[in-house]
Structure 1
Amino acid sequence: MQKHISIFLLLFLSLNSFAQDTLQAVKVETKTKSIRKSYKDVANSATMTGKELLKAACCNLAESFETNPSIDVNFSDALTGTKQIRMLGLTSPYLMITEENIPSVRGASQAYGLSFTPGTWIESIQITKGAGSVVNGYESISGQINTELIKPISDIPFFLNAYGSTDSRFELNTHFNKKFSEKWSSSLFVHGNTRVSKNDMNDDGFLDNPLGKQINVLNRWQYTNAEKGWVSFINFRYMKDEKQTGELDFDKDRDRGTTNYWGSEINTEKFDVSSKIGYVFPDMPFQSIGFQNSFNMHKQDSYFGLNQYDIHQKSFYSNLIFNSIISNTMHKFATGLNFTYDDYNEFVSVPNIDGNYDRIDNSIGAFFEYTYDNTDDFSIVAGGRVDKHNRLGLFATPRIHMRYNPWDKAVLRASAGRGKRSANIFAENQQLFASSRVFDVLNANGRIYGLDAEIAWNYGVSFMQGFYLFERSGDIGFDFYRTDFENQAIVDLYAGPQQALFYNGKSYANSLQVELNYELAKHFNLRTAYKYYDIQAEYLSGSAERPLQAKHRFFTNLAYETHIVEGGKQWKFDFTYNWMGQQRLPNTASNPVGERFSNYSPSFSLMNAQITRTFSSVFEMYTGVENLGNYQQDKAILGSNDPFGSNFDTSIIYAPVFGQMFYAGLRFKIK
């Protein structure tokens, strides 16, 4: 009985029935793969393991998806080096991004929050396409990304990772772990990074990447008492991040607030406390109760030339979940209550807008989710929740996921669901502050910046078939998703190059992906995918495709490992190829001839490669290159010769600004 309780405690840590199904199936079906998929999971999900995260220089969460075909990684602007992710053709605000199923990147942290979780802290990442579980909230529209951090109970006593690159970025990660007793364990994670030199690879007079430094500390405590049925976590985190960018000659102490040289600083400070308590009934291991709580303080002070943007957010999140069965384990359910509180203090000073946008958002909701699983060929998860929000009102959120296995190693899935959210139009579009655009919010008498809430329905189907060919395993599959926005906060860059309009409107996003995974030879694996996007919105000028989104994308990853020889010695080789088709660009037709873009960007390719040498079970080194072909956007900044003029714009980025980048690092462990 004690062994069974321990297993259920570990499964319960996610507090998410979808994640539980994934973890159970993973252990049986895809034990050795770095990206794990299940034929029995109800949702269309995949788990990126720690092995996958080591395939590239994923120094933080935003950089962890370079080898995953389901996530598109783009640069948000020409200055900050910030990477933005998209899934199903929609940007990260439409994803629910959680850390151990507690919402983590939302509100004030939307622009830069993904870069605040170091890659070495991550144990695994679960990616779910389509509307997520109602257990986790009502905001998810295109999917969910859940990050599981390394658990103190399974961590090693010491870990060291050092990294350096030719763009003058240096990082150091250290992990310390202590087992105080059979029940208590603690881990201390310390991360620091800095960029110390100025780089201008395209000779436009502006830094390609910001100068900066970050210190990030996390202390985790875990209590596990399998005999009594208890497991709990408590986390304390502090992070301080400073960035400086702009012209090469900009001096922040001398030139801030003047027109001597254009410059920008983005200074962020975060403090988080979170806890999770779970109890599995000893006599009924199928029945459990969990309680999650999180407090977050996020403070960002920033300026972009003469524009200023400050946002301070204090948030509290609480979720109570009860899991049990109806008659037998074929019929399961989860029900509970959650509460969210957000206190925003926001100041915006840009052309046409100058003032405070302070507000308090709070909501309380109840949910119920039913799961039928015959453990053979069919399962269904149907759920709904009702929430009362002080700005969004009283509303319901229905969602459903289905899975059917028509034959061996084949799975057909379908899902549908509704999502609703308040768009933080300034926090989510900070790249526009580094421009001379005049901001204008077309007031609709709504309760969020004068706009109404965003409401969308997401529908999707997927199919995956496993196979053996020439005595090698593989799988092939496709998925198609459509997102219909009844109402969206439209960001209109077609009105003119000197304008940024925000208003309510309708839009849709169609996403098709075809993927093949195949073992070409022993320890030599191929992963390839083609993606097609059709994304349209109703702009004031008429229906048009969304800018800066390639309709066609092609992805290939090749990974090879040698046999492990005596002492743990091994070579690992990884190569990733991305081809991006042309992208519709914002309107620049009224600019002077030298400051215009064509209607569409050219298509281009990017290649990354990495070699890892493991010398023993405790020491390894790696080296790699990003943007192997040295592709750079021809003109990254409009009006760079007159940054305080009317044509200045750093936000129209469709390709890398920095060229070829080499890096190297080492990892050392004490087990």
Structure 2
Amino acid sequence: MSQFILCVLLSLSTLSAFGQTGRIIRVEDSATHDPIIGATIRTPASVKPVTGAVTDVKGVAIMPSTPASVTALTVSAVGYETESFSLPAGNDTLVFQLHSQDESLDEVTVTSTRTNSRIEDLPIKVEVLGQEDMDEESAVVPGNVSSILGDISIIHVQRTSAVNGNQAIRMQGLDPKYTQILRDGLPLYEGFSGNLGVLQIPPLDLKQIEVVKGSVSTLYGGGAIGGMINIVSKSPHSETPEFTALLNHSNLKETNLNAYYSQRYGKTGLTLFTGYTYQKAVDVTGDGFTDSPGIKQFNFHPKFFWNPTDHTKLDIGYAFTTENRTGGYLPALEGTEPGSYKNVTDLQRHTVDFNASHNTSETNALSFKGAVSTFHRQNTDYQKLSDGRQSSVYLEANDLARFGKHQLIVGVNLTVEAFRKNPDSTRLVDYTYNTVGGFVQDDWQVGEKVAIQAGLRFDHHNTFGNFLLPRLSVKFKPSDPWTIRLSVGTGYKTPNLFVNQTPGALNVSLIFPRLLPIDVSTVKAERSVGTNIDIAYSKTFESGFSVQVDQALYYTVVNSPVVSAFSSLSSNLGAYTQLTNAPYNIFSVGTDTYVRLEYKAYELYFGYNHTLARRNGPTDNTYLPLAPQDKFSTTVAWENDHFRFGVEASYVGTQYLYNNQKVPNYTFFAAAAEYHYNDHWRLVLNGENIFNVKQANYETVVLGANPTVQPTFRPIWAPLEGRIVNLALKFTL
């Protein structure tokens, strides 16, 4: 009733405005450009008195004259997102476009493609974990995004340390270094700063995560050989403030306190995330060593937005992370046995990033973006200190032009990675790598059923030379529910001491005190070729039942992979480690099946990945270590107005260590129950690994003649920390 009275009053104000000086405004649907009848146009609530108008049958309203202090108008309509539009000088007719609520919910825009295309229009296959997934994960596992990534069948989250909780991400069975991770389209987690990146990204201020399967070398460089993951931050959409606070505690003595704020102020906007994690070191198995490390972590991430005109946008952000992570022999951490083994890491990360775009016309857009970051880490391992700092720069300029059935993007970028060693016990040396690259990509909509994406990149690396990377993707839509995609791409990976990778042989160590500098005269970059085929079926029936089925096939070859090997030199910790080109190639071939069914309050997801990844050489044809050949993932969920229940299960099978040594298969179960009240409060009870599967059930993880002082650790192929139960309370305003 109150809305009806408001519309009547605004209509009367519109009628009284005839004959007065006013602005003619047309409001239309952003997709169909049809007029929107009964849309309300008003001045911001902060300006008194509020004036406004309501559109007629032609979607047109005459807005009364407004004070000079009014620089924006708010437009709302039933079935559409409420939006704010800047008010330019002059009395020209204005056209405001609203996005329907159904469109905002159902259509997913992929930012990592540079064209901001809808996911269904892309010639390459992209899987998107959207806003709903982020909202759920922020309460289920609020500390970082590794859990939600592990739910995808083609991704395997591999723990790389027995005591400090480090994790890495595998795609298509390949080593973690072949997966490129971006934050808002920027490569922030490379080199020395890359090992802990995913563990420091909480999901509360994220909009979505885009997973691109296979090589995407044209736009982002050669490192995305197995795939690419782009983690996208939220942006402010409304002048109504959004605030979310979350408190979480788990049986592993982990406590998370996170908060997020977002609001638009006319032409400007702000998002702000801050979070603190405190976790005590816990020995789950009783062997005296930490299966869950001690963590003290603080994140602070403000981001500012400015839209001076409808054609120009600018955002600039700052991210700060500080963390202390401790693991090892628990009495040593508690101070009762000071000479025993411990692994302690202190780090700080500062990043400033920006993204500016300007539409020079309706068919052309210029963009300039970049990031500058510093990363300082001190690590004490086996009573040896490593201390270094990395400064990184990424700058990119590109031009997107639309003409006819083509979208052509041309760009250049610069990547700088500078490592400086502080006095410590390692043999590392300072280095500066820089890569200058240029790329061109054409998205050609050949017809209603065929689209082609062709790209070419040229990179020059100051140490490892030149690289030319062609790529081709084709999308074919034989009928409405069916889509077929085929991609072929090339890539490269330059040698780097600090990237996550599997050692070339058993017991080869990657700890910093054992690493030798790279011999750039003998070690060369890796090169790859990969192809992906994807067949998808998607249909929603009149009953409301929807089904999505996706079947992918992929094949990748990596030539002369760089691996860690024993050196002839030795120290008191054993043989040093050096990087070298392996005398074999690596190939990965596999299938990935994805099924999602939705009907009313029910949702079912099923994924199966089968990957055969192995070495291919004259004397070595073993399987790649720690790359499961079979992974099942399934989720069943039910939701009503106040409750949501979900059960997840995953099976990891046919996994090998070194020399084709097979390890046991295991099944992982999780369950969550959520109660939400008044759209403001959510209470979530979550259980991960509820049947308490852990590697210690099968074998002793810590070895050595004197393990409390000089331990050695088995390769990690299963969970270590066992069952995790957490309770989270989330408040949203």
TM-score by length of 2: 0.78
Q: How does 1:85-484 map to 2 (within 5 A)?
A: 85-132=169-216, 134-154=218-238, 156-179=241-264, 181-196=265-280, 198-227=281-310, 229-251=311-333, 260-281=339-360, 284-326=361-403, 328=404, 330-346=405-421, 354-374=426-446, 376-429=448-501, 437=509, 446=520, 451-467=523-539, 471=543, 472-484=545-557
Aligned amino acid, residue 139 of structure 1: G
Residue 677 (structure 2) aligned to one of 615, 627, 630: 615
Cα distance, 1:660–1:253 mapped onto 2, change above 3 Å: closer
Residues in 1 aligned to 2:164 and 2:126: alpha-carbon distance in whole angstroms:
31
Structure 2 stretches lacking a partner, 5+ long: 1-24, 34-80, 82-98, 111-116
User: What is the Cα deviation at residue 253 of structure 1?
Assistant: 7.0
Cα distance, 1:342–1:34 mapped onto 2, change above 3 Å: closer
Cα distance, 1:163–1:79 mapped onto 2, change above 3 Å: same
Aligned amino acid, residue 336 of structure 1: G
Residues in 1 aligned to 2:358 and 2:182: alpha-carbon distance in whole angstroms:
22
Residues in 2 aligned to 1:4 and 1:339: alpha-carbon distance in whole angstroms:
41
Cα distance, 1:427–1:381 mapped onto 2, change above 3 Å: closer
User: What is the Cα deviation at residue 73 of structure 1?
Assistant: 2.0
Residues in 1 aligned to 2:454 and 2:107: alpha-carbon distance in whole angstroms:
32
Residues in 2 aligned to 1:110 and 1:547: alpha-carbon distance in whole angstroms:
21
User: What is the Cα deviation at residue 429 of structure 1?
Assistant: 4.7
User: What is the Cα deviation at residue 388 of structure 1?
Assistant: 1.6
User: What is the Cα deviation at residue 498 of structure 1?
Assistant: 7.4
2:686: which partner in 1? 624
2:726: which partner in 1? 663
CA contact 1:93–1:110 (8 Å) conserved in 2: no
CA contact 2:445–2:451 (8 Å) conserved in 1: yes
Residues in 2 aligned to 1:602 and 1:34: alpha-carbon distance in whole angstroms:
41
User: What is the Cα deviation at residue 395 of structure 1?
Assistant: 2.1
Residues in 1 aligned to 2:477 and 2:146: alpha-carbon distance in whole angstroms:
34
User: What is the Cα deviation at residue 639 of structure 1?
Assistant: 1.1
Of the structure 1 ranges 206-215 and 298-307, higher mean CA displacement relative to structure 2 is found in 298-307
User: What is the Cα deviation at residue 91 of structure 1?
Assistant: 3.6
Whether 1:580 aligns to 2:652 is yes
CA contact 1:416–1:458 (8 Å) conserved in 2: yes
CA contact 1:454–1:488 (8 Å) conserved in 2: yes
Cα distance, 1:202–1:559 mapped onto 2, change above 3 Å: same
User: What is the Cα deviation at residue 51 of structure 1?
Assistant: 1.0
Residues in 1 aligned to 2:477 and 2:316: alpha-carbon distance in whole angstroms:
40
Cα distance, 1:34–1:62 mapped onto 2, change above 3 Å: farther
User: What is the Cα deviation at residue 538 of structure 1?
Assistant: 4.8
Cα RMSD (Å) of the superposition? 3.5
CA contact 2:669–2:688 (8 Å) conserved in 1: yes
Q: CA offsets per residue over residues 84-126 of structure 1, 9 Å max, x none?
A: 2211112442122111111122112322111121110111111
User: What is the Cα deviation at residue 72 of structure 1?
Assistant: 1.8
CA contact 1:177–1:186 (8 Å) conserved in 2: yes
User: What is the Cα deviation at residue 243 of structure 1?
Assistant: 0.5
Cα distance, 1:410–1:343 mapped onto 2, change above 3 Å: same
Q: CA offsets per residue over residues 130-184 of structure 1, 9 Å max, x none?
A: 11252323322122111111113458442101111000000111123354x3111
1:567: which partner in 2? none
CA contact 2:191–2:497 (8 Å) conserved in 1: no
Residues in 2 aligned to 1:279 and 1:40: alpha-carbon distance in whole angstroms:
23
Q: CA offsets per residue over residues 174-214 of structure 1, 9 Å max, x none?
A: 123354x3111122211100113x42221111011111201
Residues in 2 aligned to 1:586 and 1:489: alpha-carbon distance in whole angstroms:
17
Residues in 1 aligned to 2:157 and 2:381: alpha-carbon distance in whole angstroms:
24
Residues in 2 aligned to 1:510 and 1:410: alpha-carbon distance in whole angstroms:
24
Q: How does 1:69-80 map to 2 (within 5 A)?
A: 69-80=153-164
Whether 1:507 aligns to 2:586 is yes
Residue 706 (structure 2) aligned to one of 626, 635, 642: 642
Residues in 2 aligned to 1:515 and 1:583: alpha-carbon distance in whole angstroms:
21
User: What is the Cα deviation at residue 365 of structure 1?
Assistant: 1.5
Cα distance, 1:162–1:644 mapped onto 2, change above 3 Å: closer
Residues in 1 aligned to 2:201 and 2:164: alpha-carbon distance in whole angstroms:
17
Of the structure 1 ranges 332-341 and 504-513, higher mean CA displacement relative to structure 2 is found in 504-513
Cα distance, 1:122–1:91 mapped onto 2, change above 3 Å: farther
Residues in 1 aligned to 2:27 and 2:157: alpha-carbon distance in whole angstroms:
42
CA contact 2:611–2:630 (8 Å) conserved in 1: yes
Residue 533 (structure 1) aligned to one of 599, 611, 614: 611
1:119 alignment partner, SS class: coil
2:597: which partner in 1? 518
Of the structure 1 ranges 49-58 and 204-213, higher mean CA displacement relative to structure 2 is found in 49-58
Residues in 2 aligned to 1:274 and 1:87: alpha-carbon distance in whole angstroms:
27
CA contact 1:529–1:555 (8 Å) conserved in 2: yes
2:15: which partner in 1? none
User: What is the Cα deviation at residue 376 of structure 1?
Assistant: 2.0
Cα distance, 1:4–1:341 mapped onto 2, change above 3 Å: farther
Of the structure 1 ranges 637-646 and 576-585, higher mean CA displacement relative to structure 2 is found in 637-646
CA contact 2:173–2:628 (8 Å) conserved in 1: no
Residues in 1 aligned to 2:442 and 2:261: alpha-carbon distance in whole angstroms:
41
Of the structure 1 ranges 29-38 and 109-118, higher mean CA displacement relative to structure 2 is found in 29-38
Residue 124 (structure 2) aligned to one of 43, 46, 61: 43
CA contact 1:515–1:529 (8 Å) conserved in 2: yes
Please say which structure displays the higher CA radius of gyration: 2
2:256 alignment partner, SS class: strand
Of the structure 1 ranges 631-640 and 436-445, higher mean CA displacement relative to structure 2 is found in 436-445
1:52: which partner in 2? 133
Of the structure 1 ranges 163-172 and 537-546, higher mean CA displacement relative to structure 2 is found in 537-546
Tell me how many residue pairs correspond in the alignment.
Answer: 621
Whether 1:490 aligns to 2:563 is yes
Residues in 2 aligned to 1:417 and 1:32: alpha-carbon distance in whole angstroms:
27
CA contact 1:177–1:188 (8 Å) conserved in 2: yes
Whether 1:633 aligns to 2:716 is no
Of the structure 1 ranges 41-50 and 532-541, higher mean CA displacement relative to structure 2 is found in 532-541
Aligned amino acid, residue 389 of structure 2: H
Of the structure 1 ranges 292-301 and 434-443, higher mean CA displacement relative to structure 2 is found in 434-443
Identity %: 19
2:623: which partner in 1? 545
CA contact 2:341–2:382 (8 Å) conserved in 1: yes
Residues in 1 aligned to 2:220 and 2:26: alpha-carbon distance in whole angstroms:
29
Cα distance, 1:156–1:667 mapped onto 2, change above 3 Å: farther
2:47: which partner in 1? none
Residues in 2 aligned to 1:441 and 1:215: alpha-carbon distance in whole angstroms:
30
Q: CA offsets per residue over residues 526-559 of structure 1, 9 Å max, x none?
A: 1112111111125796221111121111111111
Residues in 1 aligned to 2:382 and 2:455: alpha-carbon distance in whole angstroms:
48
Residues in 2 aligned to 1:129 and 1:264: alpha-carbon distance in whole angstroms:
35
Aligned amino acid, residue 31 of structure 1: D
Of the structure 1 ranges 55-64 and 404-413, higher mean CA displacement relative to structure 2 is found in 55-64
Residues in 1 aligned to 2:619 and 2:678: alpha-carbon distance in whole angstroms:
62
TM-score by length of 1: 0.85
Aligned amino acid, residue 287 of structure 2: D
2:418 alignment partner, SS class: strand
Cα distance, 1:445–1:265 mapped onto 2, change above 3 Å: closer
